[in-house]
Structure 1
Amino acid sequence: MLIGLLATPALAETRYVSDQLEIPLRSGTSTQHRIIRMLDSGTPLEVLEVNADAGYSRVRAPSGVEGWVLSRLLMDIPSARDRLARAEKKLAELQAAERERLENLSNLKSEKGSLEGKLSALLEENSRLKQELMEIRRTASSSLAIAEENKELKNRMLQMEREQQRLAQENEALSDRTKRDWFMVGAGVIIVGIILGLILPRIRVKKRSSWDTL
Structure 2
Amino acid sequence: MTKWMKLCVILCVWGWVSGVGAQEMYVSGITKITMRTGPGVEHKILAMLESGSRLEVMEYQSDWSLVQTENQKQGWVLTRFLTEDKPLTFQVETLKKQNKDLADALEKLDTQNQILAEKNQALADIEEKYRDLKQASADFMELNEKYKALVQLSKEQAQQISMLKENLNNEAMLWFLSGAGVFIVGLILGLSTRKKKRHSLL
TM-score class normalised by the smaller sequence: 0.5 to 0.7
Structure 1: how far apart are the matches of 2:101 and 2:19?
Answer: 38
Structure 2: how far apart are the matches of 1:133 and 1:96?
Answer: 55
Is 1:47 the counterpart of 2:57? The answer is: yes
Root mean square deviation, CA, Å: 3.2
TM-score, structure 2 normalization: 0.58
CA displacement 1:10-56 (0-9 Å, x = unmatched): 5112222234454322112233322212334444322222222xx21
Structure number with greater Rg is: 1
Match of 2:123 among 91, 101, 115: 115
Q: What residue is the counterpart of 2:109 in the other structure? A: 101
Structure 2 gaps of 5+ residues are 1-12, 167-202
Structure 1 gaps of 5+ residues are 161-214
Structure 1: how far apart are the matches of 2:139 and 2:20?
Answer: 86
Any idea what SS the aligned residue of 1:8 has? helix
Greater mean alpha carbon deviation, residues 67-76 or residues 28-37: 28-37
Determine if contact 1:23/1:40 at 8 Å carries over to the other structure. Answer: yes
Q: Residue type of the partner of 1:131?
A: D
TM-score, structure 1 normalization: 0.56
Structure 1: how far apart are the matches of 2:67 and 2:104?
Answer: 38
Any idea what SS the aligned residue of 1:64 has? coil
Structure 1 outlier segments of 4+, above 4 Å: 146-150
Q: What residue is the counterpart of 2:42 in the other structure? A: 32
Any idea what SS the aligned residue of 1:63 has? coil
Q: What residue is the counterpart of 1:84 in the other structure? A: 92
1:160-199 map, 5 Å: none
Structure 1: how far apart are the matches of 2:49 and 2:96?
Answer: 23
Q: Structure 1 67/128 Cα, relative in aligned 2: closer, same or farther at 3 Å?
A: same
Structure 2: how far apart are the matches of 1:147 and 1:11?
Answer: 109
Match of 1:15 among 14, 25, 30: 25
Structure 1: how far apart are the matches of 2:32 and 2:24?
Answer: 18
